[in-house]
Chain A
């Protein structure tokens, strides 16, 4: 990957690479923009910049992650994701072979998610001014008129459902990055949740809110919801699915799975009388077969998020401001 004068030819090469991989009518028109019509409904839009080290990891790479991340952000509104844009920032000297791999992976992820990557851009920055490859994606989708999912609509009494195991992505990335070896390799859970969401909102349109607990993990998500909906949250440790190897790694590393990032899980808040029905829908779906009802929303002016432990005790699931600073004095 070259920067500067020789960069022009290179940028052209890259454009061709994208054109080939993402091939769709909008890209092929070679305009500076994509022009499309959307099916009826409210339009949903989300953007996310993806920065991750290492770029390739068990279960995915930055390419697939950049599609999943934005597709999921769009889908959490109950929407069907339709179109994506992609912006690349590449560091001078970044291997073309790696870029090819990433682009192929993005293309596959987009196809799986049923979205078209309709516009894009590439910049190459000087060596040392970027970390290999950054990708920004913006997504557009459409949500049916009767669906109203939002972080401030959660009600006391709502049940909280989680679509699968916690912590897979964060632990996979950390162990690879830090050269930590465990008995079994832990793979990222990076995946797009659009189809799971579609099944859920079709079966139970009364869902009040959905979120994908990415950075900060389930703990950050629950605290955000507690704040914006002015409620308390109680979850039950015994009901929270965590893979044994993830749980062991977290214990070794001194991490709490509740605070570790996920890239292919969602948490849903729905009225109690719909919870069992929703759970059944989730469990019938391949991306939700380990789904569980993990807790409920409470009326609590102090907006505490708390967890009943497997020993019957209770502990605070605090909002952590930045990284996990030790607190035990």
Chain B
């Protein structure tokens, strides 16, 4: 990896042990030539692994004997351009050393918003080209002053080759622009803090883009932000100074605290405590929180805390809490540019806290689900992008363009796959444009010239249209990959699996080669081949896509299938209830789908938990939360097994759904559904695993964000002697599709 201070670390360690030699980046990684006594060399090897810098990761360490060169000392050899197959490193939250300097009145960077070192600061977001050198970043316009240059050139300094190194003399600076677009004189920080204190909304430039910020404890400010952003209920993320400051609003434990404090500083979803301020996460049992990750965030909180002296305040609980929501207009890409911010966020923000260090690559905040112990990733963005994954085998350079929602793209070279950050949902033109731009940026950054393109089977995704045009323009082959095949392949790629597996994809919707809508599939996957062993029972989607945002429509479809269509109007006080009954009778605009996601929707609505999604997966998350509450108090409901299997071994859910439709106790029903489904799915998979003589099972698809399901099913399958794999490096939802597509295209090309 570049720019993580690994070579200076090697240099310092070698000097400490009195070794001579060289360290250099090479095509295969870092190459060290070290000469000294056998015991010193052994110690050197041990310490390399034990003491490696925080941002580096040693994948493998290989040692072999070499002829002595009798060098006079140890040196860092400059990297040659073109040598580098190592990707850029992710952006990192400000480190403890820098943080203490920031609030040390004697330090030359006291209260300087752009303090950083080799262990922290911007990386991926400021890189224009590789290799990662200052002149190839958006810091190129700032010339190092002599003090900064001395640090930059000294291998023993924490800022040796820290490309964004800067100080108040030579580096970027803040500015403030009023809501009207007028630049303001005076201290930018003071202006921003005053607005926040007055309940106004300030757009603040962060690492990967802008945030819209307001006082989370001021309900009027929060309501104003909701109204201006046209975002009536979707929860806002909240920033507090430290974990202690957040415990008043969410429930933390050791693992959550550690996750919050990691270098990627994600938004962590946590169970909410009693004192969650009004309007932050209305009607929800959880809230997303994060810690400050730029020096500027700390400076804002410092002012809001009354500018305490010293650094003790950093470790104490502090009252100020900030809403930090992404700086964009509903659905548009996050704003990264000063000028764009002022034009696009006008009418939302009352002021703009800007600076002149440009953001070259947009990165949304990463989101992690802290509601479960495994803390799975929901969105990969700032701090985690770009992700490099070693594929089981090499293949031609491939561009994979992902699906429709939560789009990402993936580029491969040899056996490495580079997965982009979260790009966005392709129903938005800005996100579609972003897909095209990111392709251009990443191919040039990584020096990859795609030899093939791969997209989803669905013809109407913008990503599919983009792939067709890209293939045509570059005269390279285009492959189309089934959505759920890609979900399974994504996990296989990140876990390096090349043997045949069973894949259970529990997901929303994806088009099958039969032009039917799939979404609850049991597949056999081997290389580029797959076969569909079975699927969940099909359910009508009255109104097509509209059923995805209105779970009651799936519930109506369940009732209709159970012969209880007459109950629809009475059960759902929805204006469309009568029409939906007629549509189900006629089969009009009621595509059939084996989607697992819509099944969870249907159950949530049948139980009266949620009839309309206020945001994606709203119903499914509320259903899981209901089940959780029951399970924690009473354990699994005692009930006969209610799932039947057809002659061909397919699961049938009618008896279970009858029971769900009849219960008066939503929490019991939610727990029952989870328990029964886990039992049913595991019996199904185990039976097929015996028939197919395959003992590895891959779990993929967005439904596995549901931790009761993921953990329950994993345990049951493991008890039956099955090896279970699920997503770990990428989210299990559609953000992982591009990697799966690339993996399949690789396998195809080997044919």
Contacts and interface: CB of A to CB of B under 8 A. Distances in A.
Interface of A: 174, 178-182, 248-249, 251-255, 302, 304, 306, 309, 311-316, 318-321, 324-329
Contacts of A180: 579, 582-583, 586, 588
Contacts of A315: 331, 427-429
Contacts of A321: 459-460
- Of A182, A249, A252, A309, which is in contact with the most chain B CB atoms at under 10 Å from its CB? A252
B332 A254 contact: no
Contact of A251 (B458, B576, B578, B702): B576
A316 B582 contact: no
B734 A329 contact: yes
Nearest to B433: A302
Given A311-B230, A313-B332, A329-B483, A306 B517 contact: no
Contacts of B459: 321
A319 B403 CA distance: 16
A318 B460 contact: yes
A311 B547 CA distance: 22
A326 B330 contact: no
Given A311-B330, A314-B430, A329-B702, A254 B403 contact: no
B587 to A, nearest CB: 9
Given A313-B332, A315-B331, A252 B404 contact: no
Given A180-B588, A314-B429, A326-B593, 17 more contacts: A178-B582, A178-B583, A180-B583, A182-B579, A254-B542, A254-B543, A302-B436, A309-B330, A313-B331, A315-B427, A315-B429, A325-B511, A326-B509, A326-B547, A327-B545, A328-B548, A329-B508
Contacts of A182: 579
28 contacts: A178-B588, A179-B586, A180-B583, A181-B582, A251-B576, A252-B543, A253-B583, A254-B547, A302-B433, A304-B432, A306-B429, A313-B330, A313-B332, A315-B331, A318-B460, A318-B465, A319-B460, A321-B459, A324-B544, A326-B517, A326-B545, A326-B547, A326-B593, A327-B404, A327-B509, A328-B508, A329-B405, A329-B734
Interface in B477-493: 483
Nearest to B553: A254
A120 B577 CA distance: 48
A96 B318 CA distance: 86
A252 B430 CA distance: 29
Contacts of A174: 588
Contacts, number: 122
Contacts of B580: 252
A319 B466 CA distance: 12
A182 B579 CA distance: 8
Interface in B640-689: none
Contacts of A254: 542-547, 589
- Of A311, A320, A328, which is in contact with the most chain B CB atoms at under 10 Å from its CB? A328
B426 interface: yes
A253 B543 contact: yes
Interface string B416-439: 000000000011111011001000
Contacts of A179: 582, 586
Nearest to A182: B579
Interface string B492-531: 0000000000000001111100010100000000000000
B725 interface: no
Given A179-B582, A316-B432, A319-B460, A328 B509 contact: yes
A326 B541 contact: yes
Contacts of A316: 426-429, 432, 462
B545 A302 contact: no
A302 B465 CA distance: 11
B575 interface: yes
A248 B547 CA distance: 16
Contacts of B142: none
Nearest to B585: A179
A302 B582 contact: no
B282 interface: no
B579 A252 contact: yes
Given A178-B583, A313-B329, A329 B432 contact: no
Contact of B588 (A251, A253, A311): A253
A247 to B, nearest CB: 12
B591 interface: yes
Nearest to B328: A313
Nearest to B230: A311
A314 B461 CA distance: 16
A227 to B, nearest CB: 11
B462 A329 contact: no
A252 B462 contact: no
Contact of B458 (A249, A253, A312, A325): A325
B403 A329 contact: yes
A253 B579 contact: yes
Nearest to B483: A329
- Of B405, B510, B547, B582, which is in contact with the most chain A CB atoms at under 10 Å from its CB? B582
- Of A253, A254, A311, which is in contact with the most chain B CB atoms at under 10 Å from its CB? A254
B591 A325 contact: yes
B109 to A, nearest CB: 40
- Of A249, A304, A327, A329, which is in contact with the most chain B CB atoms at under 10 Å from its CB? A329
A82 to B, nearest CB: 40
- Of B404, B430, B508, B579, which is in contact with the most chain A CB atoms at under 10 Å from its CB? B579
B506 to A, nearest CB: 12
A249 B546 CA distance: 13
Contacts of B582: 178-181
A154 to B, nearest CB: 19
Contacts of B511: 325
A329 B462 CA distance: 14
A324 B332 CA distance: 24
Interface string B524-562: 000000000000000001111111110000000000000
Contacts of A328: 404-405, 508-509, 545, 548-549
Contacts of B460: 318-321, 325, 327
- Of A179, A255, A318, A326, which is in contact with the most chain B CB atoms at under 10 Å from its CB? A326
A302 to B, nearest CB: 6
Contacts of B591: 325-326
Contacts of B548: 326, 328
Contact of A314 (B331, B462, B483): B331
Nearest to B542: A254
A327 to B, nearest CB: 5
Contacts of A252: 543, 575-576, 579-580
Contacts of B426: 316
Given A304-B432, A327-B461, A328-B508, A313 B230 contact: yes
A302 B430 CA distance: 11
Contacts of B462: 316, 318
Given A315-B331, A316-B426, A329 B404 contact: yes
B397 to A, nearest CB: 24
A21 B112 CA distance: 89
A196 to B, nearest CB: 32
A316 B549 CA distance: 18
Given A178-B588, A254-B544, A312-B330, A327 B230 contact: no
Contacts of A319: 460, 465
Contacts of B428: 313-316
A252 B578 CA distance: 9
A325 B509 CA distance: 11
A224 to B, nearest CB: 15
A131 B436 CA distance: 47
A304 B517 contact: no
Nearest to A232: B429
A55 to B, nearest CB: 19
Which 10 A/B pairs are nearest by Cβ-Cβ distance? Answer: A254-B543, A254-B546, A313-B330, A252-B576, A311-B230, A328-B548, A252-B579, A306-B429, A178-B588, A329-B508
Nearest to A177: B588
A309 B329 CA distance: 11
A182 B483 CA distance: 37
A307 to B, nearest CB: 9
